[in-house]
Structure 1
Amino acid sequence: MCADTPQTSEYPDYKDTLFLPETEFPMRAGLPAREPEWLARWERLGVYEQLRDKAKASARKPFTLHDGPPYANGHLHIGHALNKTIKDIIVRSHQMMGFDSRYVPGWDCHGLPIEWKIEEQYRAKGLDKDDVDIVAFRQECRKFAEGWVNIQREEFKRLGVTGTWNDPYLTMDYHAEAVIAEEFMKFLMNGSLYQGSKPVMWSPVEKTALAEAEVEYHDHTSHQVWVRFKPVGGALDGATVVIWTTTPWTLPQNRAVAFNPGIAYGLYRVTEADEKSTAVVGETLLLADALAEGVLTTAKVTGFEKLRDVTAEDLDGLVLAHPFRGVEGGNGEWDYDVPMLPGEHVTDDAGTGFVHTAPSHGDDDYQLGVKFRLPMTYNVEPDGSYRADLPLFAGQHIILPDGKEGPANVSVIKQLAYSGALLAKGKLKHSYPHSWRSKAPVIYRNTPQWFAAIDKPLDDGMGQYGDTIRQRALKSIEDLVKFTPVSGRNRLHSMMEARPDWVLSRQRAWGVPLTCFVKNGAKPGDDDFLLRDPRVNTRIVLAFEAEGADVWYVQGFKEKILKDLHNPDDYSQIFDILDVWFDSGSTHAFVLRDRADGVPDGIADVYMEGTDQHRGWFHSSMLQGCGTKGRAPYRNVVTHGFTLDEKGMKMSKSIGNIIVPQEIIEQYGADILRLWVAQADYTVDQRIGKEILKGTADSYRRLRNTLRFMLGALGDYAPSQAVAYAEMPELEQLMLHRLAELDAVVRKGYAAFDFQGVFQALFTFATTDLSAFYFDIRKDALYCDPSDSKLRRSCLTVMDALFHRLTTWLAPILPFTMEDVWLSRFPGEEGSVHLQDFPGTPAEWLAPELAARSTTVRAVRRVVTGALEVERRAKTIGASLEAAPTVYLSPELAQIVTNPDTFATLCITSSLTLTTEAAPEGAFSMDDVPGVGVVFHHADGQKCQRCWKILPDVGSHKHPGTCARCDAALG
């Protein structure tokens, strides 16, 4: 019915006698202005703290999502909003499912990005960092991080994220620094720590080693050269071996050439060449058969012939001369033999089939060098320049301090040409590693670094899942950790299978130092090279607890720590800092293990971050945990994708497509941003933009209207009016059955971190089952029935159940809106929806037989409403209450749809006739609902001026123009 339709003047206006919905809950949410009020209210009430007290009193099972620390550097971006919202939904939903759900936010505070910012400030003032006291410099870094922690904290809180914001964890807290050092010294004591000299990703701009997680790949144009290596002593008829490389600067460090015994090679003679070619007619070249034609074409060779096959036996043991051997000005630097060595890493997919090998500048090269004991070279300095005494190329940069290419590559290519070794050259655009901080290209560089050996058996008494870090990591992935999505398992597993030893050291200033001492005069590998003394370790930890890691750099610290235990003059102190991934990888120890709101076993229920953290935080936490705990420090790994614009493009300042969360909050409110997260499949990349947010806001509006209708209807309801389940009509029992079904869906979805599934189920229920079906049908009873009618009270009893469940089920996703809804019904200074749990579901509500029968009834109803819609479009009727159709049913359906009055109510008609007679020709039917025919008839009688049903008895009662029901309601 429609209460706004004007009454005819000859009858009284009965509008004020109807029980119309009344609520102060506004249609317009006004979220940007109102959300801060709720934030202040939650803080004033101490909602998070109340939940912890409630958990203690009821001995709830703890559930801990451990926060992967964001970096304290800059305002939040949309990826932060996605990440923190997912975490918050997990935390809130598990709390409401009966857990003691804890969330301690944290920050990563050490490392190069912050150090880089302080250096930039120094450079702007014309100062040099190296001229400043290191402790003073570190304190400036600390102050910088503190400032951004405070800014980001408020931005995260504005998203509605709950947690211990008044006591977060920071990796630069004194206790954290002490534990990080303590965890490092466990590697020292268990034998996995060693100093080695091997090639690592190196940033010449930042002058430090980088972890794989600190490297990103971008297109880069490199030089490529094809270079001749001549056999010593004229072997193989003097044919030259041709290599190909995209790093000409590594050629001065060449120590071998690799071949693959499984590849077919041949000896090729040049018969004709372009005048611009460096190839000489008659010369012979050794090449892989599959690549020979392409190489020769590149070298502008216009004619060639294959003389014969070359076998692995021919190549094995072949000795070559370095291209710069005997060169003028070389001072004998390159007058050594270059062996040909077999290597499985060599392929005939690209290049020449032969691989130039510089053990100091590549992992495959290094591994081959270790296998065949090739000498390492130290030609490249930390700033990316050649050493000052290197002949021909002294001091030339590979990468300049500003990140641009230096002269080294071109100089090497010119020297190759001068030496007659250059067969061809060119440029190649390809994916190349860059530092994710400076955005400058990186190089592989051999440097002394500190490593954790991941394949060395550890004698630490924690071998339940394996004796080595790698074994424990793989076992954890296979048996102990659940991954969402499951693809994360294979990704992390393959990384752990293939990864090299962990590079722990960085040559920077802002971080936790490698708290160890080395014996003067001893060499890496000697038993006494590293000082391993638990007493020394304890003193270091206590000093860090009291004064922080800065104390390591204070003059006289070594003497103080070693006093009475060892002669300080016998040892040197290490001043490298730990990889910041070791910091964040250690957080399980000083957050989960040590805090009062942690967990006794130090193992989190969930680690949740972006998919890039398979090589970042998930990875380092796994390595660190397996080295110090014997297993992964988590039980679940949940990952989300990246955020893209509406066209699926990566967000970029240069493109101008960046979406800033603060702007969304100012326009729509945080709940709209949170709803965008919940509506999307976060396990893949997410798109966001104006049109997407408009669609999200529309979904929000529809959901809000459903909740507003319930609030209005429940305005005069009291629990004392509740009707027992057994006394309710079937429609109300059906709604409770749907709630029971949804309860299982919601709990299962939240437990599986499937918020999209939860929200879709609830949104469909609210807008389809409720607004478009149940509420539409029951408006008549709610508005027009006597206030104490059992039907009306049954409906309100169900609405009360709907209210408690929808508000709590949706509270983790829409915390602000559900608080508004809750307080609109239960106003009070101390109340909050976030202090509630998901209500339990009585077993009797689940009624599958009723649900199956109702499915059939709703199908028949669809045929009736379809027939009425035809009449409405033809303007035969304006409203369905003007109809009294005849419904022809098959005998089978007639046994299910039995009561014409009840079915008329479901179809929202004034009356209705059911018959098992054959439907006449022309009756309305639907192919997908066989056995039903509908013939339209106008309702017989007059229109009730109160409920607008057209019934024969209207006008025959005490109150003018009313039906029997309305007359009784009026008294």
Structure 2
Amino acid sequence: MSAETPDYKDTLNLPRTDFPMRAGLPKREPAWLERWNEIGVYDRLREKEGRKPFTLHDGPPYANGHLHIGHALNKTLKDFVVRSHQMMGYDSRYVPGWDCHGLPIEWKIEEKYRKKGKNKDDVPVVDFRRECRAFADEWVDIQREEFKRIGVTGKWENPYLTMDYRAEAVIADEFMKFLMNGTLYQGSKPVMWSPMEQTALAEAEVEYHDKESFTIWVKFKVAEPADHKLAGAHVVIWTTTPWTMPSNKGVVYGKDIAYGLYEVTGTPEESWAQVGDRYILADNLAADVMKGARLDEEQYTRMADVPASDLEGIGLTHPLKGAEGSNGEWDDIRDFRAAEFVTATEGTGFVHCAPSHGMEEFEMYRDLGMLEQVITYNVLDDGGFRADLPFFGGKYILSRKGGEGDANKAVIDKLAEVGGLLARGKIKHSYPHSWRSKAPIIYRNTPQWFASVDRKLDDGMGEMGDSIRERALNSIDQLVKWWPQAGRNRLYSMIEARPDWVLSRQRAWGVPLTCFTKKGALPTDPEFLLKNNEVNARIVKAFEEKSADVWFEDGFKEEVLGGIVNPEDYDQVMDVLDVWFDSGSTHAFVLRDREDGTEDGIADVYLEGTDQHRGWFHSSLLQGCGTLGRAPYRNVVTCGFTLDDKGMKMSKSLGNIIAPAEVIKQYGADILRLWVAQADYTADQRIGPEILKGVADSYRRLRNTMRFMLGSLHDFTESDRVEPADMPELERWVLHRLAELDAQVRKGYAEFDYNAVWQAIFTFATSDLSAYYFDIRKDALYCDGNTLRRRSARTVLDILYHRLTTWLAPILVFTMEEVWLERHPEESASVHLRDFPDTPAAWLDEALAAKWATIRQVRRVVTGALEVQRTERVIGASLEAAPEVYVDADTAAILNTVEFEDVCITSAISVSSGAAPAGAFTMDDTAGVAVVFKHALGEKCQRSWKILPDVGQYNHPGVCKRCSDALDELLADA
């Protein structure tokens, strides 16, 4: 610039905004939360009339600790659902809730007692329950603030709690519907039992971990008939639960399994096998059994086939029969019969039966009418053997800390002592554990309360079937959409095979099983259970007024039964309900009973982790089918688990836990929310420091896009607006892309595909806008006067602003509020009070899009050619170039209809349909385009930096005509 040329920098229309590039989210987000609370955003949205309700029903987290990253993923996804549907025109409601009953809270109170030297059993149950209630209440308040800090919207001041008096009353009422419709029954069968927690467990409360177990091969002698050709031989069984041997009542075989008689001909010193012993084994397993007994192939021989017909009618003796001190406990002949469940895939081809500890054996003897002969009660609530059990009384299956007890070793040692063992070993296998205590569980026969899944229900709600199972299976396929579809398959197979629902728990903190049994009656007697609607109504009223605690107060039985039946004729059940029944019933007191519920008591969406196919999805389905006749939901959305950045499960021992609070402290909640949006939540997601850095980088790129728009729109008014029909083609192409994107965004949100929404918007913002449209139009935006081109560009920026800000508002709740308030600073304004703008279908222009796709492809080659020159330092900027472009005639005609030099950000450009000279730049993936580099001719405009022949020929020194005209406008307006 010469000394006479003015500095034109202040005459440019450069972006102006106070929107900071550095977000400062950790410090600034709390102020937006406070603002939303002050202006009542959630309640104001409920005031919008004429909208179709849309309800996501919250699966209740457990109120007993700070949030982990899985909570953050879950609640953020739910917030995406709620906010996006609201902005798509629904009345989108969200009532957060908490599960408040159950064992973990009991443990915390018991722990507190132990530290004070108190015994839980010495504390009145009502007092104990009150302490549990206070503990849960404290954690609800803590978790509520942690969820709100993530930016989750909802009815936070009035959530639902399963321990609320009204909730407890409804849960009891829902249970009593099972009582009245015949679903409820008391049965004694093997159930999954936690010795650590001393209660029955349901499938949903069990998880599988590897466990090392003892394995033993045990010999049962063929004793009857005495003259049988197999008499004196031994049937060998294999088990991984030696502690069940004292409860053995029989052995079963498979009719279609090939068995053989094997005789020991030689033996090493360390083997329990003796020369001359004869063993009956499945042929395909015999070698493995003998190997376990430390016998070489030369040390045994197969004597004969043993067809199934030879096994019929045989009686066996228990290996402890006649043992000194056994007091005749095992002297009865053991039952021996064929069973369908026997296989020859592992073990010996025979299965020992302890029907008190195995469901298949139990069901077999039940169907035979033999339960009275085979059921034992050797194992107590705490997993210890009854005190008077010979040899093993007082031994424990598990230690008090959940590890291996002394029962297995005692049984193995005694069997070895009496000569009943052939071999022993250890195996590592998948074994059921309590998901709360993490300790192994056992199968144990106890009297429990069950909900039948197959009994016919005469309740007038049989459209989906006559039983709970039928209704559940039909609901899964006919009434519910699954996201992803694999969720359907998982839950369907579980419901198809599940046993009856174990409802009872032998604990104190929960909703009681509100039923009474007739003294002296058997569970099979019609009058065993008291079924009286007036009694039920009294119970519900009492719970609603005073909580479920009243059930445990002295005199309550007399209060609710008095005047209806004689209280002395009935026993009061004191078990509490499975907490999954609590949470499975939430649809009744949240969706059905609240003003902000749903008209039909059905939720539009349930969304939880994949483990809830055996948890909340499952229990809600069973409970709904029992009381509503169908599933209580229309859509089920499933997310995976959260792992560290190496794909490992997070644990304190590994030191790889990423707490939501720490992410928010470092980056802000919007970065955490963006991580959720970027992840494919339907699979397991990974999170770690490097992943979060990548998320933050994406956020910065998007923030820069929004900042550019805000800066370019700083003084935009309605008088600047241009109708689409009057816009240049490039602007109309952007509108076309917006119309396409609008459909993608709405489809993605409607189908709960937030990764697709984010990727579509982010790719558009960074590729179509920042790297293309903004890059091209910066020149016009900065240097043009009040031209149609500049006004059109700013109109498009305004349209972009309103769509991107609202489209992204469900995901980046804080940032988009900040962006919105930059242009709408009114006291009560919020982007979260807006809907997605309607996008005119007329914006779609496929012919124009095809044309600009061609232009963009040619531009790529031009840009590539200029990059070579820049790398070789021939030029410093693309405006120093005036390349020659060689294309076919049709493409040339297209390029000549637009200002192609502006598109390529060069000072000039020439387009030719002739043959390209040798050495022209080409790209392999863009055939038919060649570029020859040429320097731009002329002088550099001191305002636009274009190199043009006419610079300096107009009213203002050192500028081109376009800039001179713009300067004239500025002087005229001054």
Q: Judge same fold: TM > 0.5, yes or no.
A: yes
Shift, 1:600, TM fit: 1.1
Q: Provide Cα deviations, 1:284-311, integer angstroms capped at 9, x if missing partner.
A: 1011111100000110122111112211
Q: Paired residue for 1:600?
A: 599
- Give the secondary structure class of the aligned counterpart of 1:738: helix
Does structure 1 retain, via aligned residues, the 8 Å contact 2:883–2:933?
A: yes
Does structure 2 retain, via aligned residues, the 8 Å contact 1:481–1:635?
A: yes
What amino acid is the match of 1:30?
A: G
- Give the secondary structure class of the aligned counterpart of 1:955: coil
Could you list the runs of 5+ residues in structure 1 that have no partner in the other structure? 1-6
Of the structure 1 ranges 748-757 and 306-315, higher mean CA displacement relative to structure 2 is found in 306-315
- Give the TM-score normalised by the residue count of structure 1: 0.98
Alignment of 1:18 with 2:12, yes or no, is: yes
Of the structure 1 ranges 406-415 and 34-43, higher mean CA displacement relative to structure 2 is found in 406-415
Q: Paired residue for 1:810?
A: 808
Shift, 1:843, TM fit: 1.3
Q: Paired residue for 1:925?
A: 922
Q: Paired residue for 1:371?
A: 367
Q: 1: distance between equivalents of 2:485 and 2:99?
A: 27
Q: Paired residue for 2:963?
A: 966
What amino acid is the match of 1:99?
A: Y
Alignment of 1:317 with 2:309, yes or no, is: no
Of the structure 1 ranges 604-613 and 390-399, higher mean CA displacement relative to structure 2 is found in 390-399
- Give the secondary structure class of the aligned counterpart of 1:733: helix
Aligned mate of 2:26, from 7, 24, 32: 32
Q: 1: distance between equivalents of 2:470 and 2:310?
A: 40
Q: 2: distance between equivalents of 1:36 and 1:179?
A: 37
Q: 1: distance between equivalents of 2:717 and 2:732?
A: 20
Q: Paired residue for 1:116?
A: 107
Q: Paired residue for 2:246?
A: 252
Q: 2: distance between equivalents of 1:10 and 1:352?
A: 104
What amino acid is the match of 1:804?
A: H
Of the structure 1 ranges 299-308 and 159-168, higher mean CA displacement relative to structure 2 is found in 299-308
Q: Paired residue for 1:229?
A: 220
- Give the secondary structure class of the aligned counterpart of 2:954: coil
Does structure 2 retain, via aligned residues, the 8 Å contact 1:270–1:281?
A: yes
Does structure 2 retain, via aligned residues, the 8 Å contact 1:317–1:339?
A: no
Does structure 1 retain, via aligned residues, the 8 Å contact 2:776–2:905?
A: yes
Q: 1: distance between equivalents of 2:107 and 2:3?
A: 81
Q: 2: distance between equivalents of 1:316 and 1:851?
A: 81
Q: 2: distance between equivalents of 1:637 and 1:885?
A: 57
Q: Paired residue for 2:632?
A: 633
Q: 2: distance between equivalents of 1:523 and 1:772?
A: 79
Q: Provide Cα deviations, 1:53-75, integer angstroms capped at 9, x if missing partner.
A: 11xx2x21111110000000010
- Give the secondary structure class of the aligned counterpart of 1:230: strand
Q: 2: distance between equivalents of 1:482 and 1:305?
A: 60
Q: Paired residue for 2:843?
A: 845
What amino acid is the match of 2:47?
A: D
Alignment of 1:878 with 2:876, yes or no, is: yes
Structure 1 residues 572, 930: CA separation in 2 closer, same or farther (over 3 Å shift)? Answer: same
Q: Paired residue for 1:130?
A: 121
- Give the secondary structure class of the aligned counterpart of 1:566: coil
Q: Paired residue for 1:534?
A: 533
Does structure 2 retain, via aligned residues, the 8 Å contact 1:225–1:248?
A: yes
Q: 2: distance between equivalents of 1:113 and 1:289?
A: 49
**RMSD of aligned alpha carbons:** 1.0
Q: Provide Cα deviations, 1:268-293, integer angstroms capped at 9, x if missing partner.
A: 11111111111111111011111100
Shift, 1:98, TM fit: 0.6
Q: Paired residue for 2:271?
A: 277
Shift, 1:480, TM fit: 1.1
What amino acid is the match of 2:917?
A: P
Q: 2: distance between equivalents of 1:931 and 1:410?
A: 82
Of the structure 1 ranges 256-265 and 693-702, higher mean CA displacement relative to structure 2 is found in 256-265
- Give the secondary structure class of the aligned counterpart of 2:794: helix
Q: 2: distance between equivalents of 1:9 and 1:163?
A: 64
Q: 2: distance between equivalents of 1:219 and 1:739?
A: 53
Alignment of 1:362 with 2:361, yes or no, is: no
- Give the secondary structure class of the aligned counterpart of 2:265: strand
Shift, 1:866, TM fit: 1.2
Q: 2: distance between equivalents of 1:144 and 1:721?
A: 61
Of the structure 1 ranges 934-943 and 335-344, higher mean CA displacement relative to structure 2 is found in 335-344
Q: Paired residue for 1:340?
A: 336
Q: Paired residue for 1:572?
A: 571
What amino acid is the match of 1:490?
A: N
Shift, 1:222, TM fit: 1.3
- Give the secondary structure class of the aligned counterpart of 1:410: helix
Q: Provide Cα deviations, 1:569-602, integer angstroms capped at 9, x if missing partner.
A: 0000000000000000000000000000000111
Shift, 1:173, TM fit: 0.3
Q: Paired residue for 1:3?
A: none
Alignment of 1:956 with 2:945, yes or no, is: no
Q: Paired residue for 2:559?
A: 560
What amino acid is the match of 1:242?
A: V
Q: Paired residue for 1:888?
A: 886
Alignment of 1:289 with 2:310, yes or no, is: no
Q: Paired residue for 2:940?
A: 943
- Give the secondary structure class of the aligned counterpart of 2:714: helix
- Give the secondary structure class of the aligned counterpart of 1:272: coil
- In the TM superposition, what are the counterparts of 1:464-503 in structure 2 within 5 Å? 464-503=463-502
Q: Paired residue for 2:971?
A: none
Does structure 2 retain, via aligned residues, the 8 Å contact 1:923–1:933?
A: yes
- Give the TM-score normalised by the residue count of structure 2: 0.98
Shift, 1:894, TM fit: 2.0
Alignment of 1:414 with 2:413, yes or no, is: yes
Of the structure 1 ranges 496-505 and 237-246, higher mean CA displacement relative to structure 2 is found in 237-246
Q: Paired residue for 2:175?
A: 184
Q: Paired residue for 2:972?
A: none
Shift, 1:492, TM fit: 0.4
Q: Paired residue for 2:760?
A: 761
Q: Provide Cα deviations, 1:618-664, integer angstroms capped at 9, x if missing partner.
A: 01001100111111101111111111111111111111111111011
Shift, 1:260, TM fit: 1.5
Shift, 1:928, TM fit: 2.2
Does structure 1 retain, via aligned residues, the 8 Å contact 2:315–2:336?
A: yes
Q: 2: distance between equivalents of 1:761 and 1:316?
A: 70
What amino acid is the match of 2:273?
A: A
Q: 1: distance between equivalents of 2:234 and 2:668?
A: 70
Alignment of 1:167 with 2:158, yes or no, is: yes
- Give the secondary structure class of the aligned counterpart of 1:219: strand
Number of aligned residue pairs: give it. Answer: 960
Does structure 2 retain, via aligned residues, the 8 Å contact 1:218–1:433?
A: yes
What amino acid is the match of 2:244?
A: T
Alignment of 1:515 with 2:509, yes or no, is: no
Alignment of 1:156 with 2:147, yes or no, is: yes
Does structure 1 retain, via aligned residues, the 8 Å contact 2:223–2:231?
A: no
Q: 2: distance between equivalents of 1:466 and 1:513?
A: 29
What amino acid is the match of 2:119?
A: D
Of the structure 1 ranges 203-212 and 85-94, higher mean CA displacement relative to structure 2 is found in 203-212
Q: Paired residue for 2:655?
A: 656
Q: Provide Cα deviations, 1:381-435, integer angstroms capped at 9, x if missing partner.
A: 1011111222221222112322232221111112211221111111222222222
Shift, 1:720, TM fit: 2.5
Q: Paired residue for 2:68?
A: 77
Identity of aligned residues (%): 68
Q: Provide Cα deviations, 1:912-949, integer angstroms capped at 9, x if missing partner.
A: 11121111111112232222221111111111111111
What amino acid is the match of 2:203?
A: E
Does structure 1 retain, via aligned residues, the 8 Å contact 2:733–2:848?
A: yes
Does structure 1 retain, via aligned residues, the 8 Å contact 2:181–2:457?
A: yes
Q: Provide Cα deviations, 1:809-851, integer angstroms capped at 9, x if missing partner.
A: 0010100000001001111111000000000011110111111
Does structure 1 retain, via aligned residues, the 8 Å contact 2:384–2:397?
A: yes
Shift, 1:8, TM fit: 4.7
Aligned mate of 1:48, from 7, 30, 42: 42
Q: Provide Cα deviations, 1:170-190, integer angstroms capped at 9, x if missing partner.
A: 000000000000000000001
What amino acid is the match of 2:363?
A: Q
What amino acid is the match of 1:249?
A: W
What amino acid is the match of 1:100?
A: D
- Give the secondary structure class of the aligned counterpart of 2:93: strand
Q: Paired residue for 1:208?
A: 199
Q: Paired residue for 2:427?
A: 428
Q: 2: distance between equivalents of 1:370 and 1:720?
A: 86
Q: Paired residue for 1:4?
A: none
Of the structure 1 ranges 362-371 and 164-173, higher mean CA displacement relative to structure 2 is found in 362-371
- Give the secondary structure class of the aligned counterpart of 1:434: strand
- In the TM superposition, what are the counterparts of 1:775-794 in structure 2 within 5 Å? 775-786=774-785, 788-794=786-792
- Give the secondary structure class of the aligned counterpart of 2:323: coil
